[in-house]
Amino acid sequence: MKRARAHVARLYPDKRQSAVLDGQAHAARAVWNLLHEFATFRQGRLASLKECDAAIREARHEIEWLGQLPAQAAQAVLKIYRQAWANFFNPDHPAERPAFKSRLRSRMAVDVPQASRLRITRINRRWGVVNLPKAGRVRFRWTKDLPGVTKGGPSGRVTGARLVKEAHGWNIVFRTEVFVPVPVPHTGPKAGLDRGITVPLALSTGKHLRHGPWLTGGERERLLRLERKSARQRASREKGAPVSNRERRTYDQIARLRATAKRRAVDWQHQTTTDLARRFSAIVVEDLNIMAMTASASGTVAEPGVNVAQKRGLNRSIAGEAWGRTVEFLTYKSADRGGLVAQVRPHGTSQECHRCHTTTAGSRETQSRFACKNPACGWIGNADTNAARNLLHRYNSAAGRAVTGRGDSGMPGPVKRQASCPTVSPAPALRAAA
Residue range 287-296, pLDDT digits in tens: 988 888 888 8
Map out the domains of the chain as residue ranges: 1-182, 184-219+258-423
Cβ pair 237, 213 in contact under 8 A: no
Given this model, what pLDDT does residue 427 score?
36
pLDDT greater at residue 233 or residue 426: 233
Of 246-250, 391-395, 409-413, 428-432, the poorest mean pLDDT is in 428-432
Given this model, what pLDDT does residue 408 score?
35
What is the band of 297 on the pLDDT scale with cuts at 50, 70, 90?
confident
Answer yes or no: is pLDDT of 409 > 70.
Answer: no
The mean pLDDT of 352-360, rounded to a whole number, is 90
* pTM reported for the whole predicted model: 0.84
Residue range 115-135, pLDDT digits in tens: 888 999 999 989 999 999 999
The mean pLDDT of 247-253, rounded to a whole number, is 95
What is the band of 220 on the pLDDT scale with cuts at 50, 70, 90?
very high
The mean pLDDT of 44-58, rounded to a whole number, is 83
Given this model, what pLDDT does residue 148 score?
86
The mean pLDDT of 148-175, rounded to a whole number, is 90
Q: What is the mean pLDDT of the chain?
A: 87
The mean pLDDT of 94-106, rounded to a whole number, is 88
The mean pLDDT of 138-150, rounded to a whole number, is 90
Given this model, what pLDDT does residue 400 score?
52
What is the band of 44 on the pLDDT scale with cuts at 50, 70, 90?
low
Class for the domain spanning 184-219+258-423: alpha beta
